[in-house]
Amino acid sequence: MPFRSHDNKKREGGFPIVLTASAIEMSDFNLDPFVAFVGGFPLGIFPKTLLRKTVYPPVRLHQDQTVRFAPYGLRKVEALLAEKFGPENIATVHPLQLDRFVGPQTKAVGISTMDPLGLGFVSRTYTNILGLRGKPANLIEFEALLSMRPLRRHHPRILVGGAGAWQLMGSNLMTRFGIDAIISGHVEPSVVEVFKKAVNGEKLDQVVETKAPEMGEIPTIRNPSIYGTVEITRGCGRRCQFCSPTMGDAYSFPLELILEEAKINAHNGSRMIILQTDDLFLYMSGPAFIPNKKTILKLIREIAAIKGVEFIQIAHMSLPPLVYDPEILKEIGPILAEKSMWRYGNGGPCASVEIGIETGSTRLVRRYMKGKSLPYDPEQWQDIVVQATGIMNDAGINPLATLILGLPGETEEDVMETLRLLDKLKSAKIFYVPLLFTSEKGTALEGFNPMDLGGLTDLHWEILSTCWRQNLEKWEPAFFPFARIADGLPPRTRLRAFLSIYAVAKKIGKEMGRFRRSLRLLS
Ligand code: SF4
């Protein structure tokens, strides 16, 4: 269904409603979703113009300069607003194009953001560990967006939503950025009402807290999303206390809606489809998180069959369903490996997906994430992790696993348990991303002190360096001998050495890729 014509007409006076995101969030990072986390790094020593050209180039534009691809959440908002105000009154644009779309007739500018201040788990952890100083790139670009001339000149009302909107709550921050209202939580039930008030010049609540929407309130996107993102489930229900999707029970979207959105993406030039979910196995699952093999197989096969889909990326999987029904992965593993853009160590293709190991401590699993092991007991957590990652590796899937250091009340014995688990996983093909605990707003652990560098013990440093040593050994074997040289260093210095070697390996790998592509072009 076409949104509206994208011919090159400029609208005098601007569009009544303009939707956008910061330059960093209006990029697909050269189609690499895992690079997006560099947005949390302080890149201020490099000129913004250079970063916008190389690290996070803008998404492609239509002839009329609106964006061809936009963040998925913004596309949902766009669809809802189009229904109410008419598509001809809405423009979704890159921030560098705001001057073409914002004018005296513009009443409201909606901004979507994931991590405006660089306070997410990944950005906070690695900025601290690498001892990087200065503003995170996410913040630099968010400030740049809010200080764009058309916004200051025409004073439309500024409404902010998205997964990172919680970071901006508080009247000081809102005043500093000139934000009129923050929509916190799922946007669907309230976004139309908030925009209606903004357009009519009515008083706005500073923070609009929303509830989880009914399925019928969630629209189908009308235009393609960055990375071809398509939501297949929403919510989780395992209720881990540090996590926000825990707040609502999960529901699955009907297959026909998923396929419709996937086709909108693929048929409009997206080579990749990301299946957005907190756990693939929640898709149409039974009670106690029992996976529904038949519908999962159908889903993956039908997505893979869509013309133009070169890559499929599943956002997350949980581990117990893999142990419960290993056959599922045996069937979908080959499809995911064939449709994967990742290469493992020696260059062979592999699929990857994010999993949450979080800890090896039964005590912490029982205390903070009791639902994570269901339908099994927390006491079985280490066995579940070892078995499930083995099943993944056998199916050609080498996961990216998060670990959380510094959960409230964590003891030395808990950390030792995690080290023991890492030892059991020595031969597994896993990319580890150990993270410092962050207490996010809206979670059950909101208000607890986040872990910072000063709180890390020698055992924590041991976990961090063990993880990155294994990352080098498995994913960059050519550079592993350099890791061996660093082995004798104290854990903190060793970790920094491993991270630096990894960064160099990635850089050289990228250049080699470019070189090989040029040779192919010449031959
Ligand atoms: S299983 Fe994952 S998504 Fe679900 S509540 Fe726990 S951490 Fe969150």
User: How far apart are the CA of 246 and the centre of ligand 1, in A?
Assistant: 6
The span from the CA of 273 to the CA of 486, in Å, is 39
Any ligand 1 atom below 6 A from CB of 321: no
Pair (185, 229) in one structural domain: no
Any ligand 1 atom below 6 A from CB of 492: no
- Structure confidence by residue, pLDDT tens digits, 219-240: 999 999 999 999 999 988 888 9
Instruction: Using pLDDT thresholds of 50, 70 and 90, give the confidence band for residue 523.
Output: very low
Query: What is the pLDDT at residue 34?
Result: 66
User: How far apart are the CA of 121 and the centre of ligand 1, in A?
Assistant: 14
Where residue 134 sits, what CATH number does that domain have? Answer: 3.40.50.280
Write the residue with the smallest CA distance to atom 8 of ligand 1.
243
Cβ within 8 Å of residue 326, ≥6 positions away = 391
Pair (290, 312) in one structural domain: yes
- Of ligand 1's listed atoms, the one at least distance from the Cα of 236 is 4
Buried b (16+ CB within 10 A) or exposed e, 355-365: bbbbbbbbebb
Tell me the CA distances in angstroms from 87 to 14, 84, 196, 204, 456, one per residue in order: 14, 9, 15, 23, 52
Pair (198, 250) in one structural domain: no
For helices 293-304 and 255-267, what crossing angle results, to 10°? 20
Pair (202, 347) in one structural domain: no
Any ligand 1 atom below 6 A from CB of 278: yes
**Percent share of the chain, pLDDT over 90:** 64
Tell me the CA distances in angstroms from 251 to 187, 216, 280, 393, 402, one per residue in order: 16, 12, 12, 28, 24
Any ligand 1 atom below 6 A from CB of 243: yes
Q: Mean pLDDT, to the nearest integer, of 415-431?
A: 96
User: How far apart are the CA of 318 and the centre of ligand 1, in A?
Assistant: 8
Pair (171, 242) in one structural domain: no
- Residue pair 405/434 in contact by the 8 Å Cβ criterion: yes
Among the three residues 211, 232, 250, which one is the final residue of a domain in this structure? 211
Instruction: Using pLDDT thresholds of 50, 70 and 90, give the confidence band for residue 430.
Output: very high
- Of ligand 1's listed atoms, the one at least distance from the Cα of 358 is 7
- Of ligand 1's listed atoms, the one at least distance from the Cα of 278 is 3
Return the minimum-mean-pLDDT range out of 101-105, 338-342, 431-435, 503-507: 503-507
H helical segments located in 98-162: 98-101, 121-129, 137-146, 149-154
Where residue 451 sits, what CATH number does that domain have? Answer: 3.80.30.20
Query: What is the pLDDT at residue 408?
Result: 96
124 located within any domain = yes
Tell me the CA distances in angstroms from 167 to 24, 261, 291, one per residue in order: 17, 30, 35
Most informative mutation of 246, 249, 376, 385 for ligand 1 (most atoms within 8 A of CB):
246
Pair (231, 206) in one structural domain: no
Q: Which domain holds residue 373?
A: 224-510
Query: What is the pLDDT at residue 312?
Result: 96
Query: Residue 117: which of 49, 69, 163, 67 has the closest Cα?
Result: 163
- Of ligand 1's listed atoms, the one at least distance from the Cα of 243 is 8
Pair (264, 126) in one structural domain: no
Most informative mutation of 282, 372, 376, 403 for ligand 1 (most atoms within 8 A of CB):
372
242 located within any domain = yes
The span from the CA of 161 to the CA of 462, in Å, is 38
* One-letter amino acid of 329: L
171 located within any domain = yes
Pair (250, 155) in one structural domain: no
User: How far apart are the CA of 113 and the centre of ligand 1, in A?
Assistant: 21
Label residue 482 left, alpha or beta by phi (over 0 means left) and psi (-120 to 50 means alpha): alpha
Strand partners, 158: 109
490 three-state secondary structure: coil
Any ligand 1 atom below 6 A from CB of 372: yes
Tokens of 142: 């968010």
Q: Please state the domain count of the chain.
A: 2
412 located within any domain = yes
Any ligand 1 atom below 6 A from CB of 138: no
Return the minimum-mean-pLDDT range out of 35-39, 210-214, 357-361: 35-39
Pair (422, 458) in one structural domain: yes
Buried b (16+ CB within 10 A) or exposed e, 130-164: eeeeeebbbbbbbebbbebebbeebebbbbbbbbb
Query: What is the pLDDT at residue 505?
Result: 77
Compute the mean pLDDT over every residue in the chain, rounded to the nearest whole number. Answer: 89
Any ligand 1 atom below 6 A from CB of 358: no
Query: Residue 32: which of 253, 241, 360, 272 has the closest Cα?
Result: 272
Any ligand 1 atom below 6 A from CB of 356: yes
User: How far apart are the CA of 163 and the centre of ligand 1, in A?
Assistant: 15
Any ligand 1 atom below 6 A from CB of 240: yes
User: How far apart are the CA of 73 and the centre of ligand 1, in A?
Assistant: 20
Tokens of 339: 């449709």
In SS3 terms, 376-406 reads as CCHHHHHHHHHHHHHHHHHCCECCEEEEEEC
Among the three residues 178, 211, 244, which one is the final residue of a domain in this structure? 211
Pair (360, 505) in one structural domain: yes
201 located within any domain = yes
User: How far apart are the CA of 251 and the centre of ligand 1, in A?
Assistant: 14
Q: Mean pLDDT, to the nearest integer, of 172-188?
A: 89
517 located within any domain = no
Question: What is the DSSP annotation of 330-354?
Answer: HHHHHHHHHT--EEETTTEEEB--E
Query: What is the pLDDT at residue 521?
Result: 47
Q: Which of 136-145, 413-422, 430-439, 487-496 has the highest mean pLDDT?
A: 413-422
Q: Mean pLDDT, to the nearest integer, of 77-101?
A: 95
257 three-state secondary structure: helix
The span from the CA of 451 to the CA of 419, in Å, is 18
User: How far apart are the CA of 238 and the centre of ligand 1, in A?
Assistant: 6
Among the three residues 149, 180, 211, which one is the final residue of a domain in this structure? 211
Any ligand 1 atom below 6 A from CB of 317: no
- Of ligand 1's listed atoms, the one at least distance from the Cα of 372 is 1
Query: What is the pLDDT at residue 356?
Result: 96
Pair (91, 230) in one structural domain: no
Phi, psi angles (nearest 5°) of residue 116: -65, -30
Tokens of 401: 């696993």
Instruction: Using pLDDT thresholds of 50, 70 and 90, give the confidence band for residue 39.
Output: low
**Is the C-alpha dihedral spanning 128, 133, 134, 137 positive or negative?**
negative
Instruction: Using pLDDT thresholds of 50, 70 and 90, give the confidence band for residue 214.
Output: confident
Pair (139, 253) in one structural domain: no
User: How far apart are the CA of 147 and the centre of ligand 1, in A?
Assistant: 36
User: How far apart are the CA of 52 and the centre of ligand 1, in A?
Assistant: 33
- Structure confidence by residue, pLDDT tens digits, 147-162: 999 999 999 999 999 9
- Of ligand 1's listed atoms, the one at least distance from the Cα of 239 is 5
Beta strand spans in 418-465 (E): 431-436
Query: Residue 475: which of 500, 438, 506 has the closest Cα?
Result: 506
Write the residue with the smallest CA distance to atom 3 of ligand 1.
278
- Residue pair 404/433 in contact by the 8 Å Cβ criterion: no
The span from the CA of 74 to the CA of 211, in Å, is 18
Q: Mean pLDDT, to the nearest integer, of 464-470?
A: 93
Any ligand 1 atom below 6 A from CB of 76: no
Any idea what the Cα angle at residue 356 is, between residues 381 and 436, rounded to 5°? Answer: 110
Examine the pLDDT at 10 and tell me if it is beyond 90.
Answer: no
